[in-house]
Structure 1
């Protein structure tokens, strides 16, 4: 049967279905509510190696906010090549019901979310093999606060995982993002955070390229650089 030309590609539909399934999971911190319907939360994205690549907060629904990043709607971090949606393999969400239900303006709720976002950012930064996350704007560092239970799940189905996770595909994507981000920097007046993101992306590209050479048993031009990062799964 021929594909419906009015629909997105099959791969896109499969990933959107996984995102929808994730959002329909029960909120671990609010009985009777779906995690995607929470209106106060911190979320994080991870790549195919389990590496944290972005941390954000939302006082909109989690479903809507994550959708703006991953399903083709407006997202500044995607438009500026800080985040490549292709790299997102997993999502983790920390919902904070007491903020969602608190009285006050959206601005007030965002201010309350800041300490949770900073805590998640510091936690994932410290767990990263690069000791950094791709965020352009680093949340102001504060004394970490206790985090609520989180929900983490993969959004890439098994049927396409091997194709999406293949190192050669990801090296090509990552190199493309590095080039586009570098071009953006060369053509516009940008803040230091964008340059920091570019620097981290080049490290991520080098790490993945070195890992691929190791997998294939190929010695790099400078074998000493292969020991810069630990290639073992974490």
Structure 2
């Protein structure tokens, strides 16, 4: 009977994987005002823009930019998992609870070299501004980017953004459990530390490791205190022999 319920030849992704893909489609297909055309465009279809990933505490954890399409870049992080950030355990897709994007509709249809250079300068400046905003809003005054964004060469204003959660209540109930998050964070730190131990790395990757360690300590301390802290620790019985 068990074999009938869970056949080996099942050809669909696990529940949590399928849940992310489904909610990511909802996010990327959400309509967003295009200030240039006066109409609406699916938010994932903007070519140029900046994005922020947030964790289950609302903490900003990663900032990125793209000029190929927001849909393509975000999927590469979270579903295809083919970016350096994911491959090197800098970014853990399991920790992403919400995504915020800052589209740049004014550069949607540019083609000339001069226009692309101007768009690139604007995009870099926007990433720098959003990166600074994320740092300022972080409990740790740090996020998980291995590198800092380019120094801006133009002045810009942060444009309107779109933000939405990308996990269902069912998945959130599983992944938001404190012990699950502590275990997952420990696993990612272990993987990242192994990457560092096997390569000659720059300081940015070590900064990520330090930030992750601080985030783990914060989670573990919150859990410990919430369950009673020092008062929850048992004392040895003086009549007992050696303890293993």
Q: For this structure pair, what is the TM-score category when the shorter chain's length is used for normalisation?
A: 0.7 to 0.9
One of 44, 58, 71 as aligned partner of 1:63: 71
Greater shift in the superposed pair: 40-49 or 5-14: 5-14
* 1:120-170 residue CA offsets vs partner (Å, 9 max, x unmatched): 000110010100111001113448731111000000101221111111111
1:90 matched to 2:98: yes
Q: Which has the larger radius of gyration?
A: 2
Say whether the 8 Å CA contact 2:81–2:87 is kept in structure 1: no
One of 200, 203, 208 as aligned partner of 1:192: 203
Q: Quote the residue 1:33 is aligned against.
A: 41
1:147 matched to 2:158: yes
1:128 matched to 2:141: no
* 1:201-228 residue CA offsets vs partner (Å, 9 max, x unmatched): 00000001001112212239xxxxxxxx
Q: Quote the residue 1:102 is aligned against.
A: 110
C-alpha RMSD of matched pairs (Å): 2.1
1:114 CA displacement: 0.2
Aligned length: 221
CA–CA separation in structure 2 for the residues paired with 1:93 and 1:135: 16
- Listed as ranges, the gaps of 5+ residues in structure 1 are 221-234
Say whether the 8 Å CA contact 1:136–1:196 is kept in structure 2: yes
Match of 2:40, SS state, is coil
Say whether the 8 Å CA contact 1:118–1:140 is kept in structure 2: yes
1:180 matched to 2:191: yes
Match of 1:33, SS state, is strand
Q: Quote the residue 1:81 is aligned against.
A: 89
